[in-house]
Structure 1
Amino acid sequence: MTAEPSDEILMQSYAAGDAAAFETLYRRHRNTLYGFLLRALGRRDQADDCFQEVWSRVINAAPRYRPEAKFSTWLLQIAHNLLIDRHRRQRPEQPLDTADGDGPVIAALVEHEATPERQLSEFQAQQRLRQAIAALPAEQRHVVLLRLDQELSLEEIGLITGVGRETVKSRLRYAMDKLRERLA
């Protein structure tokens, strides 16, 4: 049994003209990327547009790609930069609609029991959490989603967002305080 090539090798292969390498990368990362964008933007139409733009930028950057960080970190950094650009263009910040589908964090925050009452309670808790996350300032929302949904380290989040570890910790702390306050 041969080991699967790493994302970084696949990206370099794609840059050298191997279209199948790109297809593999796309299959590996499409759901994670789309979920991150959907939860960050809150609207499917905006997430779809941003999703396409991220992959377009990956394709255009292929000849210049250098594996200085994990491919997934580089991909999320592209997505994060697009989100920041989008938020800057939309100022003042508009409230987000609630996103369809829940990430692993939201699912993990609610216990599962099959009774209809429990399911309704879970749904309401998920709605409140989605709304509370959506109400966070963009920088805090992105850090929370990267930490909780993507389970990235503070250092990886810092690479993606272009800020230091302490800034990431600070944004996370303020975001969690706001979430606790809103959900209390």
Structure 2
Amino acid sequence: MDVQSQAPHIFDEETLIALYDDHSDSIYRYAFRSLGEANLAEDCVADVFTRFLERVATGKPLTGNIRAYLYRVAHNWVVDHYRQEKPQADLEAQPLPAHNANPENRLFEKENQARLRQALLALPEDQRLVIELRVMEKWPYEAVADVLGKSVEASRALQYRALKKLRKSFSPQWM
């Protein structure tokens, strides 16, 4: 739902519920990848939508698309979280594997996920965000650029540099 510059009176209860349904899962995935903890990701989602509702209630205009606004709020929440506390990266927090998965493969997968998470956390914020939105969430460049407040070309360049750094961080282990 890409609602452009909507006045507060346009957000009736049905619209707000639809907006939450459309965006809460992707905001949760973003927060979970960034924070590595389900409870924190849930807190982030709740706060993102609370801030959105407060903004709507005060009548402050929303410029740009709402999805980009929600991700900016989520990103700021994550950054604030890490500023307030030293990151205690719970690299073990991963979705549960299938019950019939080979334990050796599960361990290998878990180690790879931990290494990827470490590599992502080592990227500068804007590079990590472009990878999460563009590669993991499959957003178009235009939407990523909107969230970052940059041009499409700049977001492409950020993605290129981020992927280059990720490849470099993995290449010694794989060769």
TM-score, normalization by structure 2: 0.73
Q: How does 1:81-160 map to 2 (within 5 A)?
A: 81-86=76-81, 89-90=83-84, 94=87, 96-98=89-91, 100-101=93-94, 115-160=102-147
Q: Distance in 1 between matches of 2:64 and 2:113?
A: 37
Q: 2:36 aligns with which of 22, 34, 42?
A: 42
Does 2:153 correspond to 1:166?
yes
**How many residue pairs get matched?**
165
User: Structure 1 residue 179: deviation in Å?
Assistant: 1.1
User: Structure 1 residue 18: deviation in Å?
Assistant: 2.5
2:170 aligns to what?
Answer: 183
Structure 1 unaligned regions, length at least 5: 1-5, 103-112
Q: 1:22 aligns with which of 13, 16, 30?
A: 16
Contact 1:96 1:134 in 2 (8 A): no
Note the alpha carbon deviations across 1:118-144, whole angstroms, 9 max, x for none: 343333322222222122222221111
Q: Distance in 1 between matches of 2:92 and 2:54?
A: 29
User: Which stretch shows the higher mean deviation, 127-136 or 59-68?
Assistant: 59-68
Q: Distance in 1 between matches of 2:137 and 2:54?
A: 25
Note the alpha carbon deviations across 1:14-48, whole angstroms, 9 max, x for none: 74463233222212221111111111233344433
Q: Distance in 2 between matches of 1:77 and 1:168?
A: 15
Q: How does 1:52-63 map to 2 (within 5 A)?
A: 52-62=46-56, 63=59
1:3 aligns to what?
Answer: none
User: Structure 1 residue 170: deviation in Å?
Assistant: 2.7
Contact 1:80 1:161 in 2 (8 A): no
Contact 2:7 2:61 in 1 (8 A): no
Q: Distance in 1 between matches of 2:138 and 2:27?
A: 13
Q: Alpha carbons of 1:16 and 1:157: their partners in 2 closer, same or farther (altered >3 Å)?
A: closer
Q: Distance in 2 between matches of 1:130 and 1:84?
A: 16
Q: Distance in 2 between matches of 1:179 and 1:117?
A: 25
